[in-house]
């Protein structure tokens, strides 16, 4: 049976407890039987009033058995001492799921006493803070995880603020944050808050220019550069961080002074992530929808900009809510006031103080109460300030984004391993380093499978060592992967840190991965290159050596020691002076010191003493070896024995003296040549007149012969028409008639060619134009189509290099026709004709090449090829004028033509025309 409340129970004495906006309940008797539970208590634990009133604590909450809660209430009841707890953990069945869930509560168990002091019950005041606890735990875990990642980065890192003048010229930069490796990589101590010029007064300007460009443009830079002022070289990745107006640049760098392929590492994290979460304080509200009366406690009024005595109207409260949130809040309230909604209300929104304009993010929870007519008569609840929680989440997101930017900038992958569960998480970059796609599933066994078989034992041992507390949890290891998905071999550098609980058990293991394959390949190539250099240097006939930038010689080749008979210990540094002639040594030292000071090459001839004690002359050449920035990093010298050359020089000097004696004789001979040249000039003038007379004769002869030959042709045709047919029938008569007609045709062609020759002699200024080479070749090939088909010739054309050529269009057609028709006429009967037409640009000329695989010619005949009426093959028809005309056209255009030919292999013509 349900136990009725005592007459003086809180429900009787304080009936307002039932309406308070907090979870309140009363249990009575040694078995802690519920006699009162207000609506918020019922809502908090998802129990109805019937499920609570009259039932004991064990009956209502059997799932808390073994959690110490029953014992706690027994102690309060028996001792009469109240119990207060903050963030008290308890496992409850809630939310109608039938499943128990861990929750955290702030609550007070206050003993209720009779007038005589005897305890008869306990007043329970509870408030759930599970969300806040989970948020804080998540933030702590994230902070520890990302702090571990930053601690795993072994590259130097700093965040700087650029300082510009009024015209945005970079003047300096201030270090805002530096990681521990920064000092190791730069040698700069206590840099935070100081400027670069304070730390390194003579720092080169290019550092400020580079970082200034990143700050102004937002374009990241990856470069290698050095600083004489700092005495170091760095591999640098710089990118803008934050808003452009902040002028902040993040710099990730590695000191590569000793070798530029030095290992790269990830920068350690910035200062630890700082999130603070304050204890939650509640504001309460109570609204009567029937009277439109709205009440709130002092805290709520303060948040809404009201004094403690001011009344609140619902429109006034709504007006304080951020305009962007007002529609959602109004809709949610209206929904909660509908019976079918169950009356539950929960929202997160922003309120803006009407006077200070301070924004506050709040979580609102409440419930509407309905009468028998399903009309809401009351709507009350609480507001919780979660501004700091939201700001912390936003800060965490920003920090995670910054970390992602740093990881992406350094092309680094991440991993997290949970030893207790065996769960392993890899970033997409880490999966890619093992040749796996982003969706691939990973566990420790799969990880070991991806490690090269030779590296697996050491890699597993390194991981197991890091999981031991005595190791400090630090992990750093290099190994090869076999490419699980792509079969590609890669070198990986991994660094991480294990986090332990207070008992030394590993909780999680997080770190980074980096592809160092290029560095390993570079190291191998460098080693191989150095070995090849030493082998080559030891086998050259010259003496060779290398010195540091300051002139200290640290290496000689084997030939040096063989010649001088010295040892490396004797020669190191400045020991070379011992094999120099003392009389010449001061001058050598003076010139060598001057070259060192000016950074200029050195050249000098001086004697060196051999192992036999004999001094021999050597030509010494010394050149500086510079890096990418032009700085001298070493000197390379060679000494060449010029004993024989010196003897030759002396002999040459004697010959020069003999040559001088014959100079006068040559002078007199030159005078005789000058007189002969004058006579030759007069002869040339006579030849020019003779050529002109010959041209006139050819023109007159061709003109005067046209009429007679036309008459002969006409008479022959008339004779054929008038003779009886039977008189023309005999074969001998037909043969004679054919010979006469052929002679007439050859005579006409000869006259035509003579006329063309005369025209060419006079056409020195033929009008030129830009002619399409492909179009012209296509037209000529169409003219020769029957000959090409009958010979089954294969013609290839490649004139892309000079698609247009400046030449007389008529002459270019004639030139191509002559060269191509000759290639077809003088083809070999033993193979398919192959003709190639090409064009290229060469030294101010456009070179047209026509090559064939025809009969060819003997080389000794090529000099006569371009003479008029000259022919070398009589089995085909021709007059021997075509090539003469081709050369004349090319000469008139200030060009040239060459020919190469071999018997039974073919001929190649090259026509050079001015570009």
Same domain, 464 and 433: yes
Query: Looking at residue 911, what is its pLDDT?
Result: 94
How far is residue 202's CA from residue 198's CA, in Å, rounded to a whole number? 9
341 lies in a domain? yes
Query: Looking at residue 870, what is its pLDDT?
Result: 61
**Which region, left, alpha or beta, applies to residue 5 given φ > 0 means left and ψ of -120 to 50 means alpha?**
beta
The arrangement of strands across the sheet holding 632-641 comes to 553-556, 543-548, 632-641, 615-626, 602-609
222 lies in a domain? yes
Of the candidates 298, 320, 316, 294, the residue with the CA atom closest to the CA atom of residue 308? 298
We report the CATH number of the domain holding residue 891 as 3.30.565.10
901 lies in a domain? yes
Dihedral pair phi/psi, residue 619, rounded to 5°: -85, 115
- Domain boundary, last residue among 225, 259, 293: 259
- Would you call 24 exposed, middle or buried from its count of C-beta atoms within 10 A (0-12, 13-18, 19+)? buried
701 lies in a domain? no
Dihedral pair phi/psi, residue 603, rounded to 5°: -145, 130
Of the candidates 347, 349, 300, 353, the residue with the CA atom closest to the CA atom of residue 325? 349
Same domain, 426 and 498: yes
We report the CATH number of the domain holding residue 185 as 3.30.450.20
- Would you call 706 exposed, middle or buried from its count of C-beta atoms within 10 A (0-12, 13-18, 19+)? middle
CB 701 within 8 A of CB 754: yes
CB 353 within 8 A of CB 303: yes
Q: Report residue 297 as tokens.
A: 């406690």
Same domain, 174 and 231: yes
Same domain, 576 and 611: yes
- The secondary structure of 66-79 as a DSSP string is TTTHHHHHHHHHHH
- Taking every pair of Cα atoms in the chain, the longest distance, rounded to a whole number of angstroms, is 173
pLDDT in tens, 473-505: 899 999 999 888 888 889 999 999 999 888 888
pTM beyond cutoff 0.75:
no
User: If DSSP codes are grouped into helix, strand and coil, which group holds residue 116?
Assistant: coil
Same domain, 123 and 158: no
Of the candidates 267, 276, 187, 190, the residue with the CA atom closest to the CA atom of residue 230? 187
How far is residue 898's CA from residue 896's CA, in Å, rounded to a whole number? 7
Which residue, chain included where needed, has tokens 């051999």?
610
How far is residue 314's CA from residue 318's CA, in Å, rounded to a whole number? 6
Same domain, 79 and 165: no
Query: Looking at residue 423, what is its pLDDT?
Result: 85
pLDDT in tens, 605-640: 999 999 999 999 999 999 998 887 888 988 988 888
Same domain, 501 and 555: no
How far is residue 60's CA from residue 55's CA, in Å, rounded to a whole number? 6
- The DSSP bridge pattern shows strands 794-798 and 834-842 to be parallel
Q: How far is CA 471 from CA 180, 476, 479, 499, in A?
A: 20, 12, 20, 11
Same domain, 117 and 180: no
How far is residue 35's CA from residue 27's CA, in Å, rounded to a whole number? 6
How far is residue 524's CA from residue 538's CA, in Å, rounded to a whole number? 21
588 lies in a domain? yes
Instruction: Say which DSSP state 504 is in.
Output: S
The CB density around residue 791, as the number of other CB atoms within 10 Å, is 17
Spans of the chain below 50 pLDDT? 1-14, 261-280, 690, 764
391 lies in a domain? no
Same domain, 469 and 508: yes
Number of domains into which the chain is organized: 6
Same domain, 878 and 907: yes
Domain that holds residue 159: 154-259
338 lies in a domain? yes
How far is residue 226's CA from residue 256's CA, in Å, rounded to a whole number? 9
Same domain, 503 and 412: yes
101 lies in a domain? yes
Same domain, 514 and 540: no
Instruction: Say which DSSP state 269 is in.
Output: P
Query: Looking at residue 501, what is its pLDDT?
Result: 84
- Domain boundary, last residue among 624, 646, 668: 646
């Amino acid at each position: 049976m349900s136990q009725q409340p005592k007459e003086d129970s809180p429900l009787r004495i304080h009936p307002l407890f039932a309406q308070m906006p907090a979870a309140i309940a009363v249990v009575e008797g040694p078995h802690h039987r519920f006699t009162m539970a207000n609506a918020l208590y019922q809502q908090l634990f998802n129990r109805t009033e019937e499920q609570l009133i009259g039932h004991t604590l064990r009956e209502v909450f059997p799932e808390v058995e073994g959690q110490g809660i029953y014992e706690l209430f027994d102690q309060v009841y028996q001792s009469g001492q109240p119990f207060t707890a903050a963030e008290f953990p308890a496992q409850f069945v809630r939310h109608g799921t039938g499943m128990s869930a861990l929750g955290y509560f702030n609550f007070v168990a206050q003993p209720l006493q009779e007038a005589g002091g005897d305890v008869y019950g306990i007043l329970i005041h509870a408030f759930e803070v599970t969300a806040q606890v989970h948020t804080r735990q998540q933030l702590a875990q994230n902070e520890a995880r990302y702090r571990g990642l930053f601690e795993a980065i072994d590259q130097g890192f700093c965040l700087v603020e650029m300082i510009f003048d009024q015209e945005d010229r970079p003047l300096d930069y201030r270090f805002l944050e530096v990681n521990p490796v920064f000092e190791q990589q730069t040698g700069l101590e206590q840099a935070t808050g100081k400027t670069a010029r304070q730390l390194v007064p003579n720092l080169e300007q290019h550092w400020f220019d580079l970082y200034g460009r990143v700050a102004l443009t937002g374009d990241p830079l990856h470069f290698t550069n050095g600083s004489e002022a700092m005495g170091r070289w760095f591999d640098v990745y710089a990118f803008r961080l934050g808003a452009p107006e902040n002028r902040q640049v993040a710099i990730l760098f590695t000191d590569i002074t000793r070798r530029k392929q030095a290992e790269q590492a990830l920068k350690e994290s910035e200062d630890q992530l700082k999130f603070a979460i304050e204890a939650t304080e509640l504001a309460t509200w109570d609204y009567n929808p029937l009277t439109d009366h709205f009440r709130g406690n002092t805290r709520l009024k303060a948040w809404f900009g009201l004094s403690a005595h001011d009344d609140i109207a619902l429109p006034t409260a709504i007006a304080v809510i951020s305009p962007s949130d007002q529609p959602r809040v109004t809709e949610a309230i209206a929904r909660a006031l509908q019976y079918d909604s169950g009356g539950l209300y929960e929202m997160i929104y922003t309120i803006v103080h009407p006077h200070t304009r301070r924004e506050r993010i709040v979580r609102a929870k409440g419930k509407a109460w309905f009468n028998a007519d399903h009309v809401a008569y009351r709507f009350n609840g609480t507001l919780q300030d979660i501004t700091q929680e939201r700001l912390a989440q936003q800060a965490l997101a920003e920090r995670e984004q910054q970390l992602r930017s740093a990881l992406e900038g350094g092309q680094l992958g991440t991993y997290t391993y949970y030893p207790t569960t065996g769960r392993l998480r890899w970033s997409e970059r880490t999966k890619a380093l093992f040749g796996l796609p982003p969706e691939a599933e990973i566990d420790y066994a799969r990880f070991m499978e991806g490690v090269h078989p030779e590296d697996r034992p050491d890699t597993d041992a390194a991981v197991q060592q890091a999981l031991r507390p005595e190791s400090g949890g630090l992990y750093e290891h290099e190994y090869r992967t076999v490419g699980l998905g792509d079969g590609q071999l890669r070198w990986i550098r991994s660094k991480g840190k294990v986090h332990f609980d207070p008992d030394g058990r590993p909780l999680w293991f997080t770190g980074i991965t980096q592809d160092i394959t290029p560095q390993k390949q570079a190291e191998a190539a460098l080693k191989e290159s150095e070995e090849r250099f030493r082998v080559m240097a030891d086998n050259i006939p010259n003496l060779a050596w290398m010195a540091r930038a300051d002139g200290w010689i640290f290496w000689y080749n084997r030939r040096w020691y063989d010649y001088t008979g010295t040892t490396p210990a004797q020669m190191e540094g400045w020991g070379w002076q011992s094999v120099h002639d003392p009389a010449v040594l001061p001058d050598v030292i003076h010139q060598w010191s001057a070259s060192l000071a000016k950074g200029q090459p050195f050249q000098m001839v001086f004697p060196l003493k051999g192992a036999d004690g004999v001094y021999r002359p050597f030509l010494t050449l010394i050149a500086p070896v510079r890096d990418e920035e032009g700085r001298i990093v070493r000197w390379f010298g060679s000494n060449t024995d010029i004993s024989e050359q010196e003897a030759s020089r002396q002999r040459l000097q004697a010959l020069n003296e003999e040559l001088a004696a014959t100079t006068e004789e040559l002078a007199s001979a030159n005078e005789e040549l000058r007189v002969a040249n004058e006579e030759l000039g007069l002869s040339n003038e006579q030849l020019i007149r003779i050529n002109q007379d010959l041209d006139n004769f050819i023109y007159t002869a061709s003109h005067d012969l046209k009429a007679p030959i036309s008459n002969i042709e006409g008479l022959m045709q008339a004779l054929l028409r008038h003779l009886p047919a039977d008189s023309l029938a005999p074969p001998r008569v037909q043969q004679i008639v054919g010979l006469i007609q052929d002679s007439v045709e050859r005579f006409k062609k000869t006259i035509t060619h003579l006329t063309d020759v005369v025209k060419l002699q006079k056409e020195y200024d033929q009008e030129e134009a830009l002619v399409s080479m492909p179009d012209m070749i296509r037209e000529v090939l169409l003219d020769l189509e029957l000959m090409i088909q009958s010979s089954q010739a294969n013609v290839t054309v490649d004139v892309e290099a000079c698609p247009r050529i400046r030449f007389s269009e008529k002459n270019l057609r004639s030139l191509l026709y002559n060269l191509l028709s000759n290639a077809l006429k003088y083809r070999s009967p033993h193979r398919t004709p192959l003709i190639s037409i090409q064009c290229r640009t060469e030294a101010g000329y456009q070179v047209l090449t026509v090559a064939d695989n025809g009969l060819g010619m003997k080389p000794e005949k090529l000099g006569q090829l371009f003479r008029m009426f000259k022919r070398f093959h009589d089995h085909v028809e021709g007059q021997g004028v075509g090539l003469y005309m081709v050369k004349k056209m090319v000469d008139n255009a200030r060009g040239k033509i060459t020919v190469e030919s071999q018997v039974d292999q073919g001929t190649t013509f090259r026509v050079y025309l001015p570009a």
